[in-house]
């Protein structure tokens, strides 16, 4: 009997041990199928990021509003007495020295500060109002600018801009490079790019336009270091191709002969000017 009981006890032990063994194996298998806490967290994070990327719009920069200032830019050609103008058939584009000086006095009496044209451009680029300012530009670079306009600028201590056709420099009736340097060294005369040979740039020939713009700028910078990249269109005529060339060459701005006194940053390659003559500036409402 004792042997039978021992046999039964041993069966129980084996059954219990077997149950524990196989139960442990099964539990380990089930556990191995469960994702770990870190895996669960990573999965949740990945799902959240995917949903966020799909649901949120891609941020875009908000464009700044346009910026405009009011600043008359008056342009002249010849400054000389009428008898000189008649001798050279230049009367239509001539303002007498007396009237030119009168315009300067009128502007200052009306509270305008005469400035280099680059100050107007810099005000646009920096979005800062320059106050009540105006600029004077002498187109083409005639020798009478040196003979008559330059002494007036010195008399009134006001800056004047000269839009130079650089290919004509030192030729008949045009400013020489020596005169240009004297004027620039005075601190009152600022030289601007008015093309190399005064060819109308209202055309699609990019090679021609590129030469007219870049050769003139190179010549200016050779004689007047640090000349600003501001362009004055010959005849005031402008087209898409020349605007693209000026942009590619990183010019700051360009001026036409379109009438107006408001300059806007969005239109900085087609800025307006005011044509002047032997008349009162009240004609322009100044």
Q: How far apart are the two ends of the chain, measured CA to CA in Å?
A: 134
pLDDT attached to residue 284: 95
Q: Where are the domains of the chain?
A: 2-55, 68-284
DSSP state letters, 250-274: T--EEEEEEE-SEEEGGGTTSEEEE
| Low-confidence spans in the chain with pLDDT less than 50 | 1-8, 24, 26, 28-31, 33, 35, 40, 51, 55
Which numeric CATH code is attached to 68-284? 3.20.20.370
Residues 6+ apart with CB under 8 A from 91: 82, 85
CA 43 remoteness from chain centre: 49
Distance from C-alpha of 283 to C-alpha of 269, rounded to nearest angstrom: 26
pLDDT attached to residue 38: 54
pLDDT digits (tens, 9 = 90+) for 32-70: 545 455 554 555 565 555 545 554 556 667 889 999 999
pLDDT digits (tens, 9 = 90+) for 207-227: 999 999 999 999 999 999 999
Report yes or no on whether pTM surpasses 0.85: no
Residues 6+ apart with CB under 8 A from 241: 201, 203, 204, 205, 206, 209
Instruction: Say if residues 157 and 194 touch (Cβ distance below 8 Å).
Output: no
pLDDT attached to residue 29: 46
pLDDT attached to residue 63: 84
Distance from C-alpha of 210 to C-alpha of 283, rounded to nearest angstrom: 37
- Write b or e for each residue in 97-116: b if 16 or more Cβ atoms lie within 10 A of its Cβ, otherwise e: bebbbebbeebeeeebbbbb
Count other Cβ atoms within 10 Å, centred on residue 185: 10
Instruction: Say if residues 123 and 152 touch (Cβ distance below 8 Å).
Output: no
CA 193 remoteness from chain centre: 16
């Amino acid at each position: 009997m004792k042997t039978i009981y021992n046999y039964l006890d041993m069966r129980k032990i084996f059954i219990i041990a077997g149950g524990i063994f196989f139960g442990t194996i099964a539990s380990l298998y089930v556990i191995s199928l469960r994702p770990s806490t870190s895996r669960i967290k990573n999965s949740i994070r990945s799902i959240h990021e995917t949903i966020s990327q799909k649901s949120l719009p891609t941020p875009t920069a908000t464009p700044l509003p346009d910026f405009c200032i009011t600043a008359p830019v008056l342009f002249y050609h010849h400054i000389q007495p009428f008898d000189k103008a008649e001798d050279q058939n230049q009367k239509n584009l001539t303002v007498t020295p007396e009237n030119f000086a009168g315009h300067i006095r009128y502007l200052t009496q009306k509270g305008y500060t005469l400035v280099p044209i680059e100050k107007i451009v810099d005000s646009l680029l920096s979005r800062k109002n320059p106050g009540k300012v105006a600029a004077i530009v002498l187109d083409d670079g005639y020798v009478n600018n040196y003979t008559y306009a330059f002494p007036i600028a010195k008399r009134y201590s006001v800056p004047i801009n000269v839009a130079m056709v650089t290919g004509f420099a030192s030729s008949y009736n045009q400013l020489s490079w020596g005169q240009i340097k004297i004027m620039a060294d005075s601190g009152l005369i600022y030289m601007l790019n008015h093309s190399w040979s005064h060819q109308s740039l209202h055309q699609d020939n990019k090679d021609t336009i590129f030469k007219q713009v870049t050769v003139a700028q190179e010549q200016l910078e050779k004689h007047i270091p640090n000349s600003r990249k501001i362009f004055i269109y010959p005849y005031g005529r402008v087209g898409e191709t020349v605007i693209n060339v000026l942009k590619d060459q990183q010019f700051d701005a360009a001026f036409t002969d379109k009438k107006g006194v408001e300059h806007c940053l969005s239109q900085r390659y087609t800025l307006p000017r005011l044509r002047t003559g032997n008349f009162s500036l009240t004609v322009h409402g100044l």
